[in-house]
Structure 1
Amino acid sequence: MEKQGHIPTEAYVDFLGRTIEIHWNYHAILMVLIWFVLVPICVISLRYYKPRPTKEGITVYRTISRPEWVWFHIHQYGLNFAIFMSLAGMTVALAVSGGISGSVHSVFGLSTIGLGVLQGISAYFRGSHGGRYYNNADQNDPKAWEGDHFSMTARRRRMESYHKTAGFFTMACAVGAVGSGLMQFPMPILAGVIIFTIVVLLAVSIYREHKGKRYDTYRAVFGNDLEHPYNKEREDL
């Protein structure tokens, strides 16, 4: 199969004063690595690699140097990097192709990146963390533990409702973007890499799920003490 004829193979760059060849395979490789490797790793890290809940939860402050928080920082910084690189890839693609083409690939691609950006924005509305061991909280004063996450305020609930749900739709759009992109610009080797990656990530997820490693985030972080607000609310679960 050959790439479709309407895809530009070269572009004139004003500030360079010359025409350059467009290597769409670089764009394809970048986007596949972002959305089929990096993003799933960041999601699986949060879903299956949190520490097992204890009565106290994580008893150290959330800093990047603490191994107890590796799962969270992979998710946070990995997805921020994915959003940044996706925006860079999109900007270059729009520049060299002369704008939005209106193709199925462009619709799925822009939707994916748009939802990805909203995922990053929504995370900044998560509010304060709180908890017995957060920052300089008085470990003997429950009032000092209050925070949007620890207390599961309406703000935190809204953020989680959107962030967790929209993430699935973002990945669905990513599948559409990559699939339609490879239909326009076939790369059999890259398609094979995608299939292999999906199989590996699926196997890891199934294995961790089977081993019971999908711990509740609230209980993993703050502990399973039934006196904690969100544990008390779900004590029958």
Structure 2
Amino acid sequence: MVMGWGVLLPLGMIVARFFKIVRASDWPATLDRKFWWHAHLTFQIAGIGVMTLGLLLAYGRGEGASELARLHHLVGWTVVLMGWSQVLGGLLRGTKGGPTGTTIRGDHYDMTLRRVVFEYLHKFGGWATLPLVVVTTTIGLVMVDAPRWMPLLIGGWWGGLALAFVLLQRQGCCIDTYQAIWGPEPVHPGNARMPIGWRVTRR
């Protein structure tokens, strides 16, 4: 569970948020570079897979649980359901379309209601889960009386991720997905609406 939600999934989220356009990508001369997408997908699939394995190993071992353990189970199940809802949402996100696709019409290129709903739920749902992860992990460490190096290591890792988030955000690396894929020209319908997400920028 710690490997899934503490390492793999947050890395995938940071890649998707900050690495759609990198200095070596020659944007906007070269559009729709898929490094960030492949990395995001790889981290998220691996993270959900490891999370599910952890769930299977822990399932049915809560007999005679303390109040603290019951809280861990409750918040933990919420995190698991949030994780799998992200997978389901991804499968239902609709078609892509656009000049780089096989057909110009598509949910993402046209920014249909289906795509807009997906983006709000996917982005805000994913980031909103992380505080629950911190709570669940902390309770778990207390429950098993984990060696002191474990919370120090996990806390240091999370602190490093938080610092990277702040630095990348300040550098203006959080670029709108739509613009990263199709460019800034106003001819593209999605550029007529505000980008979705907290402090997402356009160039």
* TM-score using structure 2 length: 0.84
Asked if the contact 2:3/2:47 (under 8 Å) is kept, the reply is no
What is the number of equivalent residue pairs in this alignment?
190
Are positions 1:222 and 2:165 aligned together? Answer: no
Deviation at 1:99, TM superposition (A): 9.6
2 CA distance for matches of 1:55 and 1:169?
32
SS at match of 1:103: helix
SS at match of 2:92: coil
Asked if the contact 1:56/1:224 (under 8 Å) is kept, the reply is no
Q: Which amino acid aligns with 1:58?
A: L
SS at match of 2:119: helix
- Residue 173 of structure 2: aligned partner: 213
**Does the C-alpha gap of structure 1 residues 48 and 33 become closer, same or farther in structure 2, counting only changes over 3 Å?**
same
Within 5 A, what are the aligned runs for 1:70-81?
A: 70-81=35-46
Asked if the contact 1:100/1:106 (under 8 Å) is kept, the reply is no
**Does the C-alpha gap of structure 1 residues 161 and 34 become closer, same or farther in structure 2, counting only changes over 3 Å?**
same
Can you give the 5+ residue segments of structure 2 that lack an aligned partner in the other structure? 196-201
- Residue 34 of structure 1: aligned partner: 4
- Residue 120 of structure 2: aligned partner: 161
Are positions 1:199 and 2:159 aligned together? Answer: yes
Asked if the contact 1:55/1:225 (under 8 Å) is kept, the reply is no
RMSD: 2.3
Structure with larger RCO (C-alpha < 8 A, sep 6+): 1
* TM-score using structure 1 length: 0.73
- Residue 199 of structure 2: aligned partner: none
**Does the C-alpha gap of structure 1 residues 130 and 197 become closer, same or farther in structure 2, counting only changes over 3 Å?**
same
Asked if the contact 1:226/1:232 (under 8 Å) is kept, the reply is yes
2 CA distance for matches of 1:220 and 1:131?
13
Deviation at 1:56, TM superposition (A): 5.9
**Does the C-alpha gap of structure 1 residues 196 and 212 become closer, same or farther in structure 2, counting only changes over 3 Å?**
same
Asked if the contact 2:95/2:106 (under 8 Å) is kept, the reply is yes
- Greater helix content: 2
Structure ID, larger Rg: 1
Query: Taking every aligned residue pair, what percent have the same amino acid on both sides?
Result: 27
Can you give the 5+ residue segments of structure 1 that lack an aligned partner in the other structure? 1-30, 60-67, 138-143
Deviation at 1:186, TM superposition (A): 2.3
Structure 1 consecutive aligned stretches of length 4 or more whose deviation exceeds 2 Å: 52-57, 95-102, 232-235
Are positions 1:58 and 2:31 aligned together? Answer: yes
